[in-house]
Amino acid sequence: MPTRKQSASIAAIGVTRTQLYVQEDLGWLFREQPTEDYGIDAQVEIVDGDKVRGRLLAFQIKSGESWFDQPTAGGWWFRPDEDHARYWINHSLPVAVVLYDPRTNLCHWQLVNDSTLEQSRAGGWRLLVPEAHVLDRDAAAVFRRAAAGDPFQLRLRELQLSRPWMDMLAEGTRLVVDIEEWVNKTSGRGSITLGIDHEDGKDPEPLANWGVWLGLASYADVVPRLFAWADVNVHEQTYDWADQEFSGGNGLRPYKNGAGEVDFWRLELALNELGKAFVVVDRFASDGLPQLAPPRP
């Protein structure tokens, strides 16, 4: 009979506990990241009341008693390897390491930056995770300050995070957006899932999922702004098969309704001029040679 390693179970519980603390104590959005995102397990988006403003944090989550084996005054030492340390320091988002202790069901955290990440005498890296840094509502102020930025920088962060999806579109992968909109809720509650259409007649392979509350705003108007680097159109095959007629702004509309409660949408993305230009600029900024610039006064 197949068995599951205990370490895998604890790791999953740690992610779930972190998600609960973020959503219930902080009231923010939690998005688990795909496994191929090296060194980052989740993104957390700050919510102000009912406003989602694009302020993001990246979480690396470690679960289990072994991560608490190096106690020190006021907390525990966490020792990342060289690759992870440099990856986090250079990440486009502020990064926090979260340690989940299954003995207490608490999550302890520390931001990763030049002030908190130390190089030991032996040449390795270490990060002090304070015992007092418990993931609860008291962490909100520090996280808000870390995620704050001017609108220009926030937009660049969002584009950088979407770059892998831009690359997929540029390589010919079909990306679709599935939406479930609860039409009888004034909160505009719904879910948005980005996935790959393998054109095999099966459901798309999910890449990311978000819970949203758009209030009275129209999904047809808001969703294209959430994927500003792509043109958004209806997924022709799905709508050809649908037997219901809907109207919608910009030609975007649901293809069916379930029990009078939920509208279902399936939209397709195509890389637009913004996306194409950003891929070129981001590639240059990552790999290009330093440029001559006017000297600072």
Q: Say what percent of the chain tops pLDDT 90.
A: 67
Instruction: Report the pLDDT averaged over residues 161-174.
Output: 96
Q: Per-residue pLDDT tens for 7-34? A: 678 999 999 999 999 999 999 999 988 6
Euclidean distance between CA atoms 22 and 140, whole angstroms: 10
- The pLDDT of residue 113 is above 60: yes
Token representation of residue 242: 């649908």
Considering only CA atoms, which of 139, 145, 137, 140 is closest in space to residue 113? 145
Euclidean distance between CA atoms 40 and 164, whole angstroms: 14
pLDDT at 223: 93
Which of residues 172 and 160 earns the better pLDDT score?
A: 172
Instruction: Report the pLDDT averaged over residues 51-56.
Output: 80
State pTM to two decimals.
0.59
Let me know: does 52 contact 147? Beta carbons within 8 Å. no
Q: Per-residue pLDDT tens for 217-261? A: 899 999 999 999 999 999 999 998 885 666 665 689 999 999 999
Q: Distances in Å between the alpha carbon of 32 and those of 57, 103, 106, 152, 247?
A: 12, 23, 19, 25, 34
Q: E strand or H helix at 195, and its extent?
A: strand 189-196
Considering only CA atoms, which of 49, 46, 59 is closest in space to residue 15? 59
Q: Per-residue pLDDT tens for 119-164? A: 887 789 999 999 999 999 999 999 999 998 666 777 888 898 899 9
- The pLDDT of residue 54 is above 80: no
- The pLDDT of residue 4 is above 50: no
Residue 93: what are its φ and ψ, rounded to 5°? -115, 155
Q: Per-residue pLDDT tens for 79-90? A: 999 999 999 988
* Range name among 39-53, 198-212, 266-280 with the lowest pLDDT average: 39-53
Q: Hey, what CATH class is 6-148 in?
A: alpha beta
Q: Say what percent of the chain tops pLDDT 70.
A: 90
Q: E strand or H helix at 274, and its extent?
A: helix 273-287
Domain ranges of the chain: 6-148, 153-278
pLDDT at 1: 46
pLDDT at 253: 93
Euclidean distance between CA atoms 216 and 184, whole angstroms: 11
Mean pLDDT estimate for the chain = 89
- The pLDDT of residue 211 is above 90: no
Q: Per-residue pLDDT tens for 179-194? A: 999 998 888 889 999 9
3-class secondary structure, 100: strand
Count of residues in the chain = 297
3-class secondary structure, 208: strand
